A and B are shown apart, each in its own frame.
Chain A
Amino acid sequence: MVGHLVEALTLLADPALIAVIVMAALFGLFVGAIPGLTATMAVALLVPVTFFMAPLPAVAAMVTVTATAIFAGDVPGALLRMPGTPASAAYCDEAFELTRRGEAEVALGTSVVFSAIGGAFGTIVLMVAAPALAEAALLFSSFEYFWLVMLGLTCAVFVAPGNPLKGLVSLMLGLLIASVGFENPAAYPRFTFGVPELMSGVQLIPVMIGMFAVSEVLRFATTVDRPLETAVQQKIGPIFRGQWRLARQYPVQAARGGVLGTLIGALPGAGADIAAWIAYGIAKRFSRTPGKFGTGHVEGIVEAGAANNSALAGAWIPALVFGIPGDSITAIVIGVLYLKGLNPGPTIFIENPGSIYAVFLVFLLANLLLLPLGWLLIKAARNVLRVPRALLMPIILVFCMVGSFAINNAMFDVGVMLAFGVIGWLMERNGFPIAPTILGLVLGAMLEQNFVTSMIKAGGNPLAFFERPVSAVLGAATILIWTSPLLRMAWRRARPS
């Protein structure tokens, strides 16, 4: 590992790479700070540009953008009571209460410091856990992969808040979109309707840009006549003052947030936003002063702020080791990794250890950069938040269109982007989560490949799916999650009140 780290350090000592990282950090801070523009959208908009970069800078840019955008989402949360990204929603009110009491610097300082701590913590877990898991994963056959994908998709549906049936419908939609084209085990062109562009399937990137960026522009368009909130006009004091005292006061909260965030991030489909909600809830539950929550108490910001940044790194664990994304951001990253010839999977740690460790170091670097750049953003916050949306939204759409076009130089893909922008907007409006669709689209081919291979190997014997020990455990876990709502219902019936 030390040898790989040295190799990674030499890869990192490239001024061009550092320049890419700093620029990506500024872009991430800007997008994250604008309410309505999410970290996922920042990554989706970045994809067309990374398309033309070498693998390492491309991945480094995406890592940096996510880390900085998730923190930047806290800034409008504290100043406008509007979360910049969904991951900041959990403690937005709390931060705003602090600002109202004239303690904006405490809210923002806590956000930036504990985001960096959480992010660094998650990265260290990633560095230790991923290579170890990869070694075990080398022994996996199609049965294990089939169940792993099933477990991932299952988590994506059942972890998300809301009606699981809607998550399931959303997932099936993604799987069906994935089955378009002739890239399936039988090489038969399915659902192409004679359209030549559909022969190679529906392109992932235009779908993502549509569902995560165009849908946000449409949502903004419905509120165009609402006045922009103006930031609280008060002086923000030195943000790092008193942070050391907070770290000494709440070490358990910071550590718990980091662990929780990494674990939830590693679950497919659940990312930084869910991690923050759960961490905030747990901080309140175990707090010595739960009554203070919601009145401008930093304890929840410490834990949830650490959790949402550590979730980002956690999401990379299944993404790198198995090619199963831990959240919608890593779903995009996996697409880019394939394009770059860095095929995710256990062998990546054998074939490209230098690059992978370099990516880990970029994670650490991005979280360290958060401290100075976060300070800069907070100083400039009032101006960033005043950028007129009426001019910003058309520019975002131009990037979306050019980005979708550039993937294959096909105007058809811009149409795909528009169609999925409208679909994503309608789905979100009606409580259908988007993440399962994206996960289904990313994992559909892998699921079908491993399913068909396993079925052929099994020769029609369904028990073969449970014969190997690891696949039996994974299969049992998956089935247990499916049946848990039924079991709970049966339990309630069996226990007469």
Chain B
Amino acid sequence: MQVSDKLSGLLAAAFGIVVVLAARAFPATPGQEIGPGLFPSITGALLVVFGVGLFVGARRKREAGWWALDDWVGRRDARRSVAVVVVALVAWIALVTPVGFIPTTILFVIVLARAMGGRITAALPIAVVVTLVTHYAFSTLLRVPLPWGILQGVAW
């Protein structure tokens, strides 16, 4: 998505205002002039200044339009593969603990490779090998507790 400088400037300034308001609510440190709110307040205030600057500069250049969609949004394969990347990542995060690292990751690689135009005959073996090698490297060698999920009973 293409966001105009007018809009991104306004968004930055609005975000800065929210930050300053939130930082002002931080309690003061007893016996100390400088509390936890000072640094974020300065940063937030500067964000407002730079955001407004961006907005004013874009206005002066007579920037047309507020926002526009990229051309890939109009192309079916590209649109689908962007969506699949995001959705598959969210699904992996949600499923990996209950279902387990090995089945979830094999499925993840296959789904993504298919969405990006890979052949299933190549995607399936690669998914299995990559998942098992990663699992061996991180879980067995590096002792990262990757979740076993449904395979808990046969964990090795």
Contacts and interface: CB of A to CB of B under 8 A. Distances in A.
B142 A406 contact: yes
User: Interface residues of A: mostly helix, strand, loop or mixed?
Assistant: helix
Contacts, number: 174
A14 interface: no
A470 interface: no
Contact size class for A? 35 or more
Interface in B59-78: 70, 72, 75, 77-78
A380 interface: no
B113 A169 contact: no
Contact of A418 (B2, B34, B84, B93): B93
Contacts of B112: 393-394, 397
A394 B116 contact: yes
A411 B93 contact: yes
A402 B146 contact: yes
B85 interface: yes
A432 B134 CA distance: 34
B77 A225 contact: yes
Contacts of B138: 48, 402, 406
Given A191-B22, A399-B134, A168 B46 contact: yes
Contact of B113 (A188, A394, A414, A432): A394
Interface string A154-170: 00000000010110110
B140 to A, nearest CB: 12
A175 B43 contact: yes
Contact of A184 (B39, B90, B97, B118): B39
A430 B9 CA distance: 12
Interface of B: 1-3, 5, 8-9, 12, 16, 19, 22-23, 26-27, 29, 32-36, 38-40, 43-44, 46-47, 50-51, 53-54, 57, 70, 72, 75, 77-78, 81-82, 84-86, 89-90, 92-93, 96-97, 105, 108-109, 112-113, 115-118, 122-123, 126-127, 130-131, 134, 137-138, 141-142, 144-146
Interface of A: 48-49, 51-52, 163, 165-166, 168-169, 172-173, 175-176, 179, 184-188, 190-191, 214, 217-218, 220-225, 388-391, 393-395, 397-399, 401-402, 405-406, 409, 411, 414-415, 418, 422, 426, 429-430, 432, 448, 451-452, 455-456, 460
